[in-house]
């Protein structure tokens, strides 16, 4: 079983393979994916690792959790629906 310090280093190293902007910031693992970010207490991840005694399973679980959270806020603007609302609505006036 890994010590807390070794686990922290290893989890950040492995998360960086999937999420290029993963880092340890104080007591949190912070993963950024523009424009969103996720902060998870490293102690929670380590506690799960101690309970399962399986680093690979813990890593896979948190990769899935982080992906779910980050993709929850991804959306695409459909400009075909938005553009008509942004068009000028000026009425032509006729001079008689």
Domain ranges of the chain: 4-70
Segment 38-92, tens digit of pLDDT: 999 999 999 999 999 999 999 999 999 999 888 876 666 666 666 555 555 555 5
The pLDDT > 90 percentage for the chain reads 61
Distance between CA atoms of residues 69 and 24, nearest Å: 18
Segment 10-49, tens digit of pLDDT: 999 999 999 999 999 999 999 998 778 899 999 999 999 9
End-to-end, the C-alpha distance of the chain in Å comes to: 89
């Amino acid at each position: 079983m890994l010590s807390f310090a070794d686990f922290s280093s290893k989890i950040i190293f492995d998360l960086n393979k999937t999420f290029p902007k993963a880092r340890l910031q104080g007591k949190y693992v912070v993963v950024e994916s523009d424009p969103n970010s996720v902060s998870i207490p490293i102690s929670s991840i380590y506690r799960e690792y101690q309970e399962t005694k399986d680093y690979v399973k813990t890593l896979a679980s948190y990769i899935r959790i982080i992906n779910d959270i980050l993709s929850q806020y991804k959306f695409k603007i459909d400009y075909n629906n938005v553009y008509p609302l942004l068009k000028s609505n000026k009425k032509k006036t006729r001079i008689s």
